Structure formats: structure tokens, C-alpha cells
Structure 1
């Protein structure tokens, strides 16, 4: 009963939040406002999501997997669904549909994990697949929202980088565990850096170069930071060598300087970050409106449904955290960030109890990836980092983001099955 009760908070947020929005749109019995786009058409999808969540929690209990991580993620997803219903009511049903699809795929990952985990035995094949996925937008991509990182397939649009990040974690976990001894016992010394022969760090340099290429060609700063950061972090987790961190930061600094001097769109991004007030009604409009939203919300917020987040373009995707901060204040914002930290902590507990090194790196990489993605987008919205174009995991609207997030969650939960003591 204890395991099932963990689902009550996300269900409570989901049902009560949507009920509040419905009552706000129908203040008088029998009066239907023309601006109301919710109605009751979403109820079957809401029921399907709740039933699927209960079934999945039952699967986790029966398979002796971690039973805290999934309810924590469902709490984040519930906040996202309610906020999207508040911001873009027409997107409520699609978001519920993507959430249901994501949970089904998570179940399939758990069900066929014994086959999926074999990918870590073939690191170079996984690495090649990752490169192919990341280069698809360069060849066939469509520019949406200023970034050329989308593939349009009929009525659907897919962001390949969301699935490339899964492949990069699989590749790094396999490669670093296979070459850990060579990478951590360097043979050469360059000034104060201790590095192995070039052929062993060539795959890592290749990953760093792909991140820079994504930044320049696809104008996708968020994914570039995410891929670069996870590569550096997992390398440090595997080797414990600070030389790789310094070399990576030096590489990124030189590449950023060259890109800033050679490409106009790179200069625009950095100039907006340094001083958004120089063009508050132009290129920096989103950042400025986001800062106004944070200032308006204060500590307690303006109240759910009483703010004006609609002034922020694309508020339901990249800037959904600003909308939450405006209407629910600093307290709710800190609670959301605490949820991401708790999910990361739970994932690290799973990683530390994995019996094999590959599994340990894989679980740690999945956990770090989710936390890093949340940090990058929150930092961009608050102007701590340059503005990025990635989604807030499990909260922002988007099918690619939701599906990839639950696939990572399924991988973490599958790895928790063989834990020694979590």
C-alpha cells in the first residue's frame, strides 16, 4: 500500500488542477464560454493516463524495481500537463496522448531490457548510430524556432537530438568502461596534463566536435551544451582525471571564441545573454519577458490562472518554467528544482548499487543527463546561461522530449532491478 500511495500527489495535482481550470472557464452553471477549449473531451485520455500509471507502478512492485522514481517523475509530468492546459488548452489532449505513449514505451523498455542492454557490448555501433541521428537534421532538417534541429514527417515533427542523447549515454558507458584503465593510467604528459595516446581520446574529441558543429550549423546551443556536458561528466566519473575536464573546457573555450568571431547568429546569442536590455523588443524579447515574469511572481506568485505568461512567446515549451514561477512563485519553483535533484539522487543510488561498471556508468549517465537538461534550460530562462532551445524534462510540451525522458526513466528502473540495496 505504501508504494501505491506515492501516486496520490501526482494524481491530486492532475485532477485538481484541471478541475480548477474547468471551473474557472465555467463560472456559472449552464454557461459555456466561447474561449473555453477544454470541455470534457480530455477525460478519456486523463483516465487512460491514470490507469496506465497504476499498472506501471504495479509492474515495478512485482518486478522488485525502484518504486519511488516513477511517482516522482509523474509529479513533474502532472505539473506540466496542468500548466499546458492553462497556457495552451488546445494542446492538453496531445500532451496527455504523448504522456500515455511515453509510459507504454517505458514499459516496453522494461519488458525487453535484457535485449536492449546488449547495446553496451557494441560501443562503436552505438556511436555510429548516434552520429547518424545527430547529422539527420543537417541533411534533412527544418528550422523551427530559430534552430535547424527538427525533422518534419507529415503531420509530426521529431527532434533527433532527443534520441541522440540516449545513444550517447549508451556509447559513453560502453566505451569508458572498456577503456577505463587506459584512460585513467596516462602514458604521456603535456605540460601539467596527463593524457593517454591520441587514439584513445579520439572518440571523445569527436563527440566534442559534434557538439560544436550542432551549435554552429543547427544553431542548437541547448543540445550542444547537453552533449558536451554529459561527455565531460561521464568521462570524469569513469576516470577521475581532472586533465580531461580542463582539456574539454579549453577545447570548448577556443571553439566558442572562433564561432563568436566567425558567425553572426552566435554573436547574437551571446550578446543577448550579456545585455538583453539593448534590444528588449527584438531578439531579446523572450528573455526580457521571462525576467519580468520572475519579478512579477515574487515569492508566492500571482496565483494559478491569474498571471500573464502569454506575453512570453513559446511559453509552453522553452519558457514553461517562467510561467510556473510567475503564477506559483519562488516556493513552487524551488520545489520543482528539488524534485529534479531528488530524481538525480535516486538515480545515483541506483548507479552505486549496480554490480557491473557498465551498468553503473549507464545509470549515472541517465541520472546526470536529466538533471543537466533541467539545469541548462532553467539557467537559460533565468539568464544564468545563454538562452537555449531545449525542453524542461517531463514538463514542457513536446512528444520527442516526453518519449525520450520516459525511455531514460525505463532504463534507470530496469537497472534498479539488480540493485544490492537502494
Structure 2
């Protein structure tokens, strides 16, 4: 018996079996979560969402089998991990906003289809380097489009209405900026890493080489000031700093970026009233708990009432938070699943970040390595910013929790990121 267990073939079979079973976990969460919510509605049941739930579960099994069959050299844990977040998000949307459950299921299907489309085009990743400036220009156009065609939703002017749909261009601009930075920093790494000019304690290259970075920093500040979008501003700024430091190892860029952001934020604070309001809510929420600080105060109450084990699924009062299905969905999870559930979810995101960085470390091509690390860092930074916002560690932001918060643009863009990471994890693309 010991001899059989010690054999490599037996261990390989057991590992494959484990990978096959991983996709069952999120699907069971989705299935039993929706059943529990329907039983709460007794004697009135609503089965209109069943075909959409079945479609999500069926497509997840199909994708998982295709990945194991045709992409066996890739990171096969990525997709089940993402489906775990997706299942948590779907049952929470069903719990918090039942009217948005079917639309979110549709967006989930769109995201999964986009994921497969990205994998189909994976061999074209190497060509992105040839179009880096076009991609960078398109990202700036996406960000600027909301200045002219944007609609104010939830206090942020970062949405464009297209008939019955609303699109958030910054979600897709984020991916394009990561691709641009990966290509640009790879091409100019030597110049950026060995600066020739000295300014005070900083050592910097000629201005023309850091101009693209300054433009991205400026766009981040512009989003903060004009679009009232602090979350996206921090996200774009953080991505630019992290990727520049990862490519060059030069701390001068970090200090320069922090000085730039600090001066811009200080000037914005004195010039624009909405910036002062955001800071006041962050620093002193209890001075106006029923007014402008209502949401963050209720979020803190939700964390407190959840305790260690939580109030139980569908047994809390998360509806007291107006935007609980978007910005504050983590507060609802913390209330009903407690500290244990919150930590478990955070560990899941840390695992996703770890696997993304592991993919980057196994890439032989420098651009692919920087692209994978940038994509992984963007997800981790996005999670940190939204969790810090709902817990009052940072000023309240308007970004989503990947795969969990309601939102079509966020869902599709997050699946694009995972698709790119999965494509980069294949041995065939590591050297491309």
C-alpha cells in the first residue's frame, strides 16, 4: 500500500483529481447559496434565475475541462479561484439586490466568454509591444472620454451611458496602461535605470524619457479633481509607481511620484470643495453620521455587528448601507460572515496575487514578466484600496471589489486580466 501511494503516477492521478474537484466548490456555493435565499422567500419562490445559474455552472465546467485538456501547462488553479470569488459575489448580489441578480449573471457569462476570447488571441500578446504608443494613446482617450460624455453616478463622473447600459472606461484604460507601461519600461529600462541628471537627492533621466510617466500621473490627478474618482486615481497612480520601480529598481521615481501626488492633492484640497468634503468625511465621520458620512458610518457598524463569526448568511442588516451591492459589498460580507469569513476572502485574494507573481517569475521574456506582475499588482492594489476605503483606513473610494461587486465593466475587465495572466502562465508563451 505504501509503495502504491509513493509512486509518481498515483500522485499525478490524485493531483489531477484534486484539480477537477476544485471547480465543484464555487459551483456548490452558488447553487446552495441561491437555494437558501429562495427558501427564505417561502411560500413564494422565484425560479426565473435558474436558467442563468445553470448556464454559469455549465459554462464553468466546460471552460475548466477545456483548460485542462488544451492548456495543461498553464496555471490551472486560476480559473477555479476566480469562480470562487464570482460565486460569492453572485449570492451576495442575490441577497442584497435581487433585481440585479440576473443582470449580474449575464455579465458573469460575458466575462467568462471574454476570458476564452483572450486565451484564443493569446499568441498575439508578443505583438502588443509594437503598438505600445497606440495603446497608451487609446488609454488616455478612454479616460478623457468621460470628461465630455460622462454621467455622474454615485458622485463619480466616470460613466458613459450607451442606451440601457453604462460603461466605465477607466476599467479598460487600466489594462491598456499596464500593457503600455510593460512595453515602454522594457524598451527604456537601461535609460531609466541609469539616470544621468541629479535633482536635489533624486537621480533622474532626461525629461523626455519620464514624460509618459508624468502624463499618467497627471491623468490620475485629473480623475481625482474633475471626475471625483479618488479610487481610480489611486489605482492608476499606484500601478505606475509599482511597475516603474519593478522595472528599474530606482527609488527616485517613487519619491518623485509621492511628491507630485502630495503637492497636487494639497492644491486640490484648497481649490475644490468636493475634495475637502471627502477628506472631512474620512477624518471626522462622526460629525455628520446621518448626512454625508452616513455610508461609511453604517459600514463601520456592519463590521462591528458581524463580530468573529458573523450574523449568518441572510441574517444581517446590510441594507442600511445605500450602495452596499457595489462599493460596500465587503461590509455586508463582514457582517454576515464575520471576521473569519472576511479573513478567508482576503486570503483568497492574496492567493490570487501570489499565483500572479509566480507566473511573472516564470516568464523568460522581460516584457511578459513585467506585464504579468503589473496585472497581478493591479488586482491586489484594487482590493486593498476598496477594503481600506470601507474600513476608513483611506478616504472612501468608488472602485469595485473584483468579481464580487456589481458591475459589468468591472466584471469583463477583471476576466480580461485573468485571461492575460492565464495566457502568460502557459509554457509556450513564457518565452514569446
- TM-score, scaled relative to structure 2: 0.94
Indicate the residue corresponding to 1:318 in structure 2: 327
Aligned to 1:16: 32
**What is the alpha-carbon distance in structure 1 between the residues aligned to residue 303 and residue 18 of structure 2?**
37
Match of 2:63 among 52, 56, 68: 56
Task: Describe the superposition over 1:195-227 as per-residue Cα deviations: whole angstroms up to 9, x where unpaired.
Answer: 111110010001000000000110000000000
Task: Report what 1:307 is aligned to.
Answer: 316
Give, in angstroms, the shift of residue 121 of structure 1.
Answer: 2.2
Checking the alignment, whether the CA contact within 8 Å between 1:204 and 1:231 is kept in structure 2 is yes
CA deviation vs aligned residue, 1:331-388 (integer Å, no higher than 9, x gap): 1011111111100000000001011000001100110001110110010000000000
Write the distance in 1 (CA, Å) between the matches of 2:129 and 2:141: 18
Please say if 1:365 is aligned against 2:374: yes
Match of residue 231 from structure 1: 240
Q: CA deviation at 1:420?
A: 6.9
Look up the match of 1:287: 296
SS for the counterpart of 1:152 is strand
1:100 maps to which of 109, 131, 154:
109
* Aligned 8 A contact 1:290 1:319 in 2: yes
Q: What is the aligned counterpart of 1:298 among 304, 307, 320?
A: 307
Partners of 1:109 and 1:116 within 8 A in 2: no
1:346 matches 2:355? yes
- For the Cα contact (< 8 Å) 2:368–2:430, is it kept in 1? no
Deviations 1:4-27 (A, max 9, x none): 11112111211111111111111x
Mapped partners of 2:27, 2:177: distance in 1? 33
Q: SS where residue 122 of structure 1 aligns?
A: helix
Which residue is equivalent to 2:210?
A: 201
- State whether residues 301 and 327 of structure 1, in contact with CA within 8 Å, keep that contact through their aligned partners in structure 2: yes
Alpha-carbon distance, 1:113 to partner: 1.6
Determine if contact 1:350/1:363 at 8 Å carries over to the other structure.
Answer: yes
Helix, strand or coil: the match of 2:236? helix
Residue 174 of structure 2 corresponds to 165
CA distance in 1, matches of 2:235, 2:366: 23
Structure 1's unaligned 5+ residue stretches are none
Q: Does 1:375 align with 2:384?
A: yes
Deviates more, 1:391-400 or 1:5-14: 5-14
Unaligned runs of 5+ in 2: 1-16
Q: Tell whether 2:416 aligns with 1:407.
A: yes
Match of 2:92 in 1: 83
Counterparts of 1:263 and 1:116, CA distance in 2:
42
Query: Which residue of structure 1 aligns with residue 9 of structure 2?
Result: none
Q: Report the secondary structure of 2:426's partner residue.
A: helix
Question: What pairs with 1:144-293 in structure 2 (closer than 5 Å)?
Answer: 144-293=153-302
Is the 8 Å Cα contact of residues 173 and 358 (structure 1) preserved in structure 2?
Answer: yes
Structure 1 consecutive aligned stretches of length 4 or more whose deviation exceeds 4 Å: none
Q: Distance in 1 between matches of 2:160 and 2:381?
A: 24
RMSD: 1.2
How many residues align structurally?
412
Q: TM-score, normalised by structure 1?
A: 0.96
